[in-house]
């Protein structure tokens, strides 16, 4: 028997969501999700997020083609953080890297660049 978990979207109506590669476990990115973004993700099976800088809902890969097919959505023990287990097509990061976590705090480049953002975002 299952019951939907009541996600705590907080005062700003957003909850952080970590996108993780469902096969390898690699952490790809962190973004924010509104109630509408979560509903769209559940309806379509494609990752939707809420852009705080643009103040709008967005579908991952709608512009770049670098989509995330969501295999499972998990919620943490406090119901205030989501985990999207995804199949990533192309790179997850707008900088062209497979993961947004492509460098250490010391500035060492440790991630793989999989596309040229100048070719994707005009």
Binding residues for Mg(2+): 76, 78, 80
Question: Looking at per-residue confidence, does 3 or 92 come out higher?
Answer: 92
Measured CA to CA, the distance from residue 111 to residue 47 in angstroms comes to 22
Residue with tokens 């790809």: 28
Tens-digit pLDDT profile for residues 32-91: 999 999 999 999 999 999 999 999 999 999 989 999 999 999 999 999 999 999 999 999
- Binding residues, as ranges, are 76-78, 80, 93, 100
Type and span of the H or E element at 39: helix 35-44
Question: In whole angstroms, what is the distance from residue 119 CA to residue 79 CA?
Answer: 39
pLDDT tens-digit series, residues 8-30: 999 999 999 999 999 999 999 99
Q: What integer pLDDT is reported at residue 1 of this predicted model?
A: 54
Give binding residues for Zn(2+) as ranges.
Answer: 77, 93, 100
Q: What is the pTM of this model?
A: 0.92
The pLDDT value given to residue 53: 93
Burial 14-39 (b: 16+ CB within 10 A, else e): bbebbbbbbeeebebbebbbbeebbe
Q: Is the pLDDT of residue 95 over 70?
A: yes
Q: CA 3 → CA 6, 81, 106, distances in Å? A: 9, 18, 44
């Amino acid at each position: 028997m299952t019951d939907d978990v009541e996600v705590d979207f907080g005062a700003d109506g957003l909850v952080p969501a970590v996108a993780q590669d469902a096969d390898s476990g690699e952490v790809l990115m962190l973004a924010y999700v509104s109630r509408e973004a979560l509903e769209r993700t559940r309806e379509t099976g494609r990752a939707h997020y809420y852009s705080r800088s643009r103040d709008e809902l967005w579908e991952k890969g709608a512009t770049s083609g670098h989509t995330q097919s969501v295999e499972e959505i998990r919620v943490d023990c406090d119901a205030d953080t989501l985990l999207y287990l995804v199949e990533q097509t192309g790179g997850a990061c707008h900088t062209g890297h497979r993961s947004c976590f492509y460098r250490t705090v010391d500035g060492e480049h440790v991630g793989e660049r999989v596309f040229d953002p100048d070719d994707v975002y005009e």
